[in-house]
Amino acid sequence: MVSNIQIYGLNESIKASKYPMSTDTYQCTDEITDRTISLGSAERGSGHDNFLNGCIVQFDLTATNKFWVEAERYHFLDFVSSQSTMHRIAKFNIDNSYIKYTDEFMINRMNELIENYKNDPTPENYLIVLYSNPSGFRLTARMTTNYRQLKTIYYQRKDHRLPEWREFCEWTTTLPYMKDFLKLKEKEVN
């Protein structure tokens, strides 16, 4: 589900988290301290965890249409680029593009519709393919966000009905120091 992960600004932001209590910012280090953990795990919305905004996370995320519709509500989960059904729906390997919860009948029907479109590539046949695509279809996008926003997503979605959200939330706990900022003990994650 998540791959090609890059984290930027983590050490610099940890250092900056010490600025409010410092008279000489050059003396601040990127060492994780109890205060760093306390600030990073502060209540969401309190502003005390603001330094987490500087911990930028970029990754490739492969998820279903159903997941993407819900992810779009987060204005702080930025799309860098993504696969496009609009441009490529008839080119995907349909048999490998759906999750296990997609009814086999629907997958077979999509193959029929795509074949029909390829044999008669009219705009109407294309729209039939596009609008008939089940929500279990997976697409990959490159995403940019930050630790603070991942913390929000974690608490809002960790017990979600869609297994993809639970898997995504589990992934967030693998990021450096995230378990501390989420105040998680090892048994809570697994």
pLDDT along the chain (190 residues), means of 10: 97 96 95 94 89 97 95 89 93 94 97 98 97 96 97 96 97 97 70
Q: Are 88 and 145 in contact (CB under 8 A)?
A: no
pLDDT of residue 184: 86
Rg (CA), the chain: 21
pLDDT of residue 85: 92
What would the two tokens of residue 136 be? Answer: 């279990």
pLDDT of residue 189: 54
pLDDT of residue 186: 56
pTM of the model: 0.89
> Which residue in 37, 38, 41, 36 sits closest to 17, CA to CA?
36
The residues, ordered by sequence, that sit 6+ positions from 130 with a Cβ below 8 Å of its Cβ are: 85, 86, 89
pLDDT of residue 75: 84
- Within 10 angstroms of residue 102's Cβ, the number of other Cβ atoms is 17
> Which residue in 85, 54, 92, 46 sits closest to 69, CA to CA?
85
C-alpha 188/C-alpha 82 separation (Å) is 32
> How far from 168 is each of 100, 129, 159, 182, 190, CA to CA, in Å?
17, 29, 11, 15, 13
